[in-house]
Amino acid sequence: MSISPEKRPPLPQAPLLVRLLRLAILCFIGLSTLALLLAGAMFAARMVVSGRVVPGVSIGEVDIGGMTGAQAAEALAGRYGALEDVTYSFRYGDKVWTARAAELGLRFPADELLERAYAIGRSLDAAGNLREQAEAWFNGAALPLSLRFDEADARAYLEELAREIDRERQDARLRIHGLQLEISPGISGLKLDQDATLLNLREVVLAGQGEREIALVVDESPPRASNVEEAAALAQAALSAPLQLVGTRPSGELLMPWIVAPEQIRAGLALTLRDDGGDLRYDVSVDLSAHARFLATLSPQLSTATADGRFDFDPASGQLTVISPSSGGRRLNVEETIRRLEAAVFNPLNRRVDMAFDALEPRYPNDLSAADLGITELVAEATTYYWGSWPNRRSNIALGAGKLHGIIVAPGEEFSFNQHLGEITPQAGYLEGSVILGGATVTGIGGGICQVSTTMFRAAFSGGYAITERNSHGYRVGYYEYAGAGPGLDAAIWQPDVDLRFQNNSPWHLLIESSFLGAQDALQFRIYSTRHWHTVIESAIISDVVPAPAEKYVESSDLYAGQIRQIDYSADGADVRVYRNVYARDGSLVKRDHLFTHYSPWQAVFEVAPGDPRLIEEGEEGEENGEITPVGSR
């Protein structure tokens, strides 16, 4: 069962004697404690009075309680006096520097610490002094060991250290002397970070124990132009050996190599130092354009022009037939060849460079369509006759006419008779015939070619094409007025200066065809194109006729008495105008132009045997001839 608190019986009280005994014990304890306190205070007071440190006082790990000032100083020096002589090391790379703590500004303030220790229990407050002395006696008074660090001394030392460590950066450098390379890899710049190193120094020194190596904080700036080795390798490759430029003649024959010597390469080699986002980089380049002029002089010898084919037109089918095929050409590409040379400069393994040629396509491929060119119908033709011509003259006419057969002339293009005919030489197959030279008809190579140029001219003139150069003969030649043809429509040529030219001023191509009709003693030229206009040529207007001079006789040693040979024929002189009217397809007049020709009077000339009575005196000859200087072949 439980008993509530209200119903519990009261505890019995101790006897009076027991209680008095307890009280006596407590009084004794209190008095003993007080006695001890009084004794300690009295002892501490004696210490103070005797000039000693209050008992219980310590500095760091040294108990200096009860010691005199000298004793305390000696005790502190024995324990901590060597702190200022501690050696600290600084390391950077393989270099080490050492210094005493005192050199680095570390100070052990013994006097200051002793003064603080000695001041305990010695203030002006007597009660307070008793409390401090009692506290030190019973609980101790520990003063922390505090060191002094003079940053001025430390910074002075680091400044001296920086003079040994710091150095300017030297960037890498590459130079070329002649054909030799000079490479300087450069040196990194060094700079002692004194502020950061000072923080490390303070931390280690003030710790007093443990690590005694201080990390130097050194900022490094590596040399710029970091690609100097790469650039040097390129330059070395460029100068390692000569380049060989090889090519072929148009025939396919190999050319002797053209050598580009290292000295020539060096002349075009350039080193350029540029800023690359804070770094420096060497750019190695080469410029061989100085050799472009030499290559340009080679180009005509190594290049071949395209050759336009020759074609026949079939009016019935409207198709073209190839007479001689077109052929492509090539042209030396000087710029690309230079580029190839420059690219090969930096390749040490392959110093052989092929010349660059551009393929040239012919204007008229062999499979071209007549309709695409606008060659659809006959638009003009002309026929002349060479009755009575000597065999050599007939041969020359046939040869010259054949060289103009099948030629295509583009819109806007100018046709040159001499260009397409080629040189009139024996090597080209031409024979001797009669030509007009210096006021006389003489024997020369190519006589009869003017029959070809005259016939070609008449076809172009009747076709309405623009005549850009036409020269007449010095006198009226009978060959060109056969079959009712009037004067004023001849065209003389004399290479290289006197030419026949006309321009295709129509919007379509034209095709020239020629026919040597030996059975009819006729020469015909035809022009095929698309009819762009209609041409009407009016009859010649002849004026200012001058009769031919009297016959002339000249001596020829190969004739016998009574023999005679005619070498020139008489012709009246005159001025001749021939008008041409060109009409558009709607019948409107597009152009009216005319040809003007001045013919000099021409005398008949006969050769006779020496002593013939018809021979005239030499002085009279010039008066009868006059000043006549016609040109051209008859």
Q: pTM of the entire structure?
A: 0.61
Q: Has residue 48 got a pLDDT over 80?
A: no
Average pLDDT, whole number, for the chain?
Answer: 87
pLDDT tier for residue 119 given thresholds of 50, 70 and 90:
confident
User: Quick one: average pLDDT of 15-28?
Assistant: 67
Amino acid 224: pLDDT: 85
Question: 252: left (phi > 0), else alpha (psi -120 to 50), else beta?
Answer: left
Amino acid 35: pLDDT: 52
User: Quick one: average pLDDT of 519-524?
Assistant: 96
User: Quick one: average pLDDT of 496-515?
Assistant: 97
Give CA separation, 563 vs 440, 553, 557, 611, in Å. 22, 12, 11, 12
Q: Has residue 25 got a pLDDT over 80?
A: no
**Which of 197, 186, 261 lies closest to 224, judged by CA?**
186
Amino acid 572: pLDDT: 92
Q: How many other C-beta atoms are found inside a 10 Å radius of the C-beta of residue 71?
A: 13
- Phi, psi dihedral angles at 306 (to 5 degrees): -70, 155
Amino acid 44: pLDDT: 46
Q: Has residue 379 got a pLDDT over 80?
A: yes
Amino acid 484: pLDDT: 87
**Which three-class secondary structure state does DSSP give residue 543?**
strand
Tokens describing residue 611: 């002593």
Digit-coded pLDDT (tens) for 274-321: 888 888 898 999 999 999 999 999 999 999 999 999 999 999 999 999
User: What domains can you pick out in the chain, each with its CATH number?
Assistant: 40-221 (no CATH), 228-308+327-360 (3.10.20.800), 370-633 (no CATH)
Q: How many other C-beta atoms are found inside a 10 Å radius of the C-beta of residue 88?
A: 19
Compute the C-alpha angle 401/406/408, nearest 5°: 120
50, with CB counted inside 10 A (0-12, 13-18, 19+), is exposed
Amino acid 12: pLDDT: 52
Half-sphere exposure of 531 (CA within 13 A, CB side): 15
Tokens describing residue 237: 């490759």
Helix (H) / strand (E) element for 485: namely none
Q: Has residue 94 got a pLDDT over 50?
A: yes
Give the rounded distance of the alpha carbon of 119 from its chain centre: 89
| More confident of the two residues 613 and 19 | 613
Amino acid 431: pLDDT: 94
Tokens describing residue 424: 């009139």
Give CA separation, 372 vs 237, 316, 533, in Å. 55, 17, 20
Digit-coded pLDDT (tens) for 576-598: 999 999 999 999 999 999 999 99
CB 286 within 8 A of CB 270: yes
pLDDT tier for residue 32 given thresholds of 50, 70 and 90:
low
Query: Which residue's entry shows tokens 């005790």?
Result: 75
Give CA separation, 591 vs 59, 464, 465, 501, in Å. 131, 9, 11, 19
Amino acid 588: pLDDT: 95
User: Quick one: average pLDDT of 601-620?
Assistant: 81
Amino acid 630: pLDDT: 38
Distance CA 542, CA 562 (A): 39
Q: Has residue 507 got a pLDDT over 70?
A: yes
Q: What beta strand segments (E) does 438-473 contain?
A: 440-445, 466-469
**Which of 380, 417, 409 lies closest to 507, judged by CA?**
409
Half-sphere exposure of 432 (CA within 13 A, CB side): 4
What is the separation, in whole angstroms, between the first and last Cα of the chain? 173
491, with CB counted inside 10 A (0-12, 13-18, 19+), is buried
**Which three-class secondary structure state does DSSP give residue 275?**
strand
Helix (H) / strand (E) element for 128: namely helix 126-139
Amino acid 1: pLDDT: 38
Amino acid 488: pLDDT: 94
Amino acid 376: pLDDT: 97
Digit-coded pLDDT (tens) for 174-214: 898 888 988 888 899 999 999 999 998 888 877 765 568 88
| More confident of the two residues 122 and 610 | 610
Distance CA 197, CA 206 (A): 14
User: Quick one: average pLDDT of 143-153?
Assistant: 84
CB 23 within 8 A of CB 16: no
Give CA separation, 594 vs 305, 462, 526, in Å. 37, 12, 22
